[in-house]
Structure 1
């Protein structure tokens, strides 16, 4: 039974990994492989269908859709990873302190987290972004200030289990300081589950960043970004469906890739456990 679970986990990692690596490569080398300038307006070529010169066609401003998708990969992935990094930068220390220290410190931290979790995270992110104003940096701040709470709860739970292990008791008996125990024993054993959580969460973040850009709260036109492209294509959804089809498929494939990697890592970690 273990082998049966392990094979699909490995397959998911391979398939998802290839997709993720492909998107990363496109984002890095977009200036070299994009066939056209993503911001170049050519009204004489607006709303043309796929052709040899424009593989995915052009948008309402005559801009090449494929080139904008390639450059949009840089924007969407960079800010999604930045949001994830900011979330981890807050949630990991908070979760470790709450779980390891315990007592009143743990109670104060968890009650504060409970208050934040009482509000729907997406609605709270929308409210913060609305107050700060539209823009990708403000969107990053909004997500990072709200979404770290669920991570902190999970990390706290892992630390509570880890600190009861025999090797932690042995380290204390050997005279190790609390900081040494956290850095040498607690954090290394929590890294693998944190990586799995991050790989699963990045797909949700990509969807959220694109979604808020679609609503006009993230990236702003003419920035090549997947959500912006979807928003710009709404008036032409029935007459020129390719304007919405290609950005939508790009978001779907990117999220699928990261979800496959996360699911594969989760299965492998569960099988190893």
Structure 2
């Protein structure tokens, strides 16, 4: 009797998917899950230890840490997905155009991408945010302006592989227009690799947004955001380390979840193809 073995791909896919689904549900229902008002200040109970009413204690302003952590899930996750979606809305059309059209169009787009990629993405994002002013909206704009270039290069490579397939040659021979070939054949076949890319990259974006918010360039107090919570609790790192531990664990858990999900999707896509 053969024993069934659980592959690492399945474990990675289901573990990552469960963590991501949990984070999304917490973000969606955050206002109904918070035990207290995450913005309510009560200096009389500042830095209180965990209790029945405040399961994770209170911060330096007397605010419920658990409530701010839950609301921070919505802020960190939503804006990371928004930044990724905006970057992909630029990179996918340009990558499709460069990979399928080729020639001068491809060279012009790729030289533009090469100029952007000549600068470190994170440093360029910091510079743009510094010029525009520290705020979450300006940070997201900086990410979109910088990070689309790397995604467009990857999409171009995917399209160049797909357009050499036999079914693309058959579509051209049957008189299909370039627009029809791209929309009906290339884009559907490129969707799966791009989904894997998005799953792998959203964790990196979340880490970057939280890191820059920690430096004061993203979300500003009193916004409940994980990077802001890390920055606010920095003076108490040695005396009350739990204030930094909670948002740090939240960032790590969600990032690992997206990375496991992306890795599981990547391995499944490789096996099926």
TM-score norm. by structure 2 comes to 0.97
How many angstroms apart in 1 are the aligned matches of 2:84 and 2:10? 24
Number of the residue aligned with 2:217: 217
Displacement of 1:272: 1.3
SS of the residue corresponding to residue 7 of structure 2 reads helix
Displacement of 1:161: 1.1
Number of the residue aligned with 1:243: 243
Number of the residue aligned with 2:163: 163
Number of the residue aligned with 1:86: 86
How many angstroms apart in 2 are the aligned matches of 1:159 and 1:33? 43
Displacement of 1:172: 1.1
Number of the residue aligned with 1:139: 139
Gaps of 5+ in 1: none
How many angstroms apart in 2 are the aligned matches of 1:142 and 1:156? 22
Q: Give the stretch that moved more between structures: 6-15 or 184-193.
A: 6-15
TM-score norm. by structure 1 comes to 0.97
**Offset from partner CA, 1:192-250 (integer Å, 9 cap, x none):** 00000000000001100101100111000000000000000010111111110101101
Number of the residue aligned with 1:17: 17
Q: Give the stretch that moved more between structures: 181-190 or 44-53.
A: 44-53
SS of the residue corresponding to residue 119 of structure 1 reads coil
Residue 117 in structure 1 maps to residue 113 in structure 2: no
Residue 208 in structure 1 maps to residue 208 in structure 2: yes
How many pairs does the alignment contain?
270
Question: Which ranges of 4 or more aligned residues in structure 1 deviate by more than 6 Å?
Answer: none
Q: 1:200–1:259: 8 Å Cα contact kept in structure 2?
A: yes
How many angstroms apart in 1 are the aligned matches of 2:223 and 2:254? 19
**1:1-273 paired onto structure 2 within 5 Å:** 7-273=7-273
SS of the residue corresponding to residue 244 of structure 1 reads helix
Gaps of 5+ in 2: none
**Offset from partner CA, 1:6-30 (integer Å, 9 cap, x none):** 8211111111111111111111111
How many angstroms apart in 1 are the aligned matches of 2:250 and 2:9? 24
